[in-house]
Chain A
Amino acid sequence: MEIDKNKCVGCGNCHAVCTMGAISLDEDGKSIVNQDQCVECSVCYRFLTSEGYWPWMVSAIRRALSLFRLGYLADVDVCPTGALTPPVLEWPRSLRGMFSDPTIVHPGTGIYGRGTEEIKSNDVTGRLRGGEAGLVVEMGRPGIGVFFWDIEKVAMALARLSPEFEKKNPVTQLMEDPRTGKIKNEVLGEKVLSAIIEMKIRLDSIPDFLRALEKVQKEVDTVIAVGVASRCLADGSIPHEEWVRSSGYAPSRNGKTNLGLGRPLFKETES
């Protein structure tokens, strides 16, 4: 994101809204974006409605009010002068928007945002089948963000266990070689709000993957949200639960359930 200094009046509304805390007041009293930290999520631009006031008018009113030791508290969801300006992003910086802005269709997946359909359409895609588990390792979430150099550390650690990285996943598409998990050098310095390393593994290998993750988590300067999914058994029970528990972890009480109402229903026996 960029801020038009000719328009900005330094109200500061965008500072708190910024998901990465990347906006601050410059020495000239106008807001400035730390471009290294900005992940191009554009929430500031979408959320803060431009009031379209003339900057000189806002400044003059403020000066007049200050003479009487009065201030004006603007609504929290406005940019008085419309100073926020989304730039045209060139590669590889454009990657930031693709991963961080949920209103952008990712060109590599054809769907909005940073992820894939995962189990949400498993009833029709058959993506996860009997004996398989889906492991989703979302880096940078919640609210911290992540550079690709940290994503690479985790992807390479997990790649040693030979998972099947999801081909439609945007992180997989940035790997030089999915067998190693190595990410392309040109994107390592890019930061995104979050990115999901997504893979299919065998149910009985869940303990190995969680151990590897336990080890590598200490090497990254961000948070990681971990999820495990599987196809339910005929009685509705969840096969990955016992593997997670036997690894020493407690699955959450809440989670996601695919009801199986999609059509045509994927039939495993016919695949």
Chain B
Amino acid sequence: MTNTLHRQGKEQSLKEDFVVFMTAAPGINREGSGPKLQAFMRICAKYHPVNMGNVKQGNIHQDGVEVEKFIASLSEGAGAAAVFTDLDTVRQVIEELIRADLGISINISGLLDEVRQCCHGTGITRHSAEHSLGFWGARERLPEREILEINTLCGHGMISFNFIRKMVEYVKLRRLTPKKAARIMAKCCECGAFNPRRAEMLLEKIRKGDLTPSEKPV
């Protein structure tokens, strides 16, 4: 899957957006991985991620979710994700994951050079890496830059361009605060990869100014 690969944004914004996720492989280490998935999430939860979840159970921003009960309900499955907003915290999470030695694949989506340094600092060499080569095809159908940035925070595409525009309008009309609007959007993203902090900052920015046409380079 390429859910978190194509997150858009300026470097400063991307410096506050790291998704750490665990992926079990069927036939290799997925069977019986439920307790490891829970251990992964407990480690992540200690460091106060801005979002956590998996597609089977949803994410922590959905109505009535209590984090500990949410973690306890995780069972054997494809994986889980947690979103952090600074590299130092990510480094601490990785150090603890190395110590825990859960034996399930761990990935980080984020600025590649920073993640590489983070790996180096924890004494590991990255195994594999993937780059986005951007959006091709009928690019004229894409929306304004900020709408696209928020949309790509959910790799499954569950937050529509129209809904983001609606949230922008609600924020401009002060019917919702940027924080509340970002939390509402986070509910749509089942897997928990959405970064509500970044969305909140983008909404703040939009409230104070105009949207950037999609063709204008970052």
Contact = CB atoms under 8 A, between A and B. Distances in A.
B207 to A, nearest CB: 17
A258 B4 CA distance: 13
A260 interface: yes
Interface residues of B, number: 83
Nearest to B112: A255
Measured as residues with beta carbon below 8 angstroms from the partner, the interface class of chain A is 35 or more
B67 to A, nearest CB: 20
Contacts of B4: 256
Contact of A227 (B2, B79, B102, B104): B2
A88 to B, nearest CB: 21
Interface string B1-28: 1111111000100100100010111101
B105 A254 contact: no
B109 interface: yes
Contacts of B6: 138, 141-142, 225, 227, 252
Contact of A222 (B63, B107, B128, B137): B137
Interface string B65-79: 000000000000111
Contact of A225 (B94, B132, B156, B163): B132
Nearest to B115: A257
A16 interface: yes
A116 interface: yes
Interface string B122-138: 00111111111111111
Given A136-B2, A260-B125, A261-B97, A228 B130 contact: yes
Given A17-B163, A222-B141, A259 B108 contact: yes
Contacts, number: 288
A234 B176 CA distance: 50
B26 A111 contact: yes
Nearest to A39: B157
A119 B130 contact: yes
Nearest to B191: A102
Contacts of B152: 142
A102 B124 contact: no
A33 interface: no
Contact of A116 (B1, B98, B156, B158): B1
8 contacts: A43-B188, A120-B107, A121-B23, A122-B127, A252-B112, A257-B128, A259-B127, A261-B124
Q: Which 3 pairs across A and B sit closest by C-beta, in order of nearness?
A: A260-B127, A115-B1, A229-B130
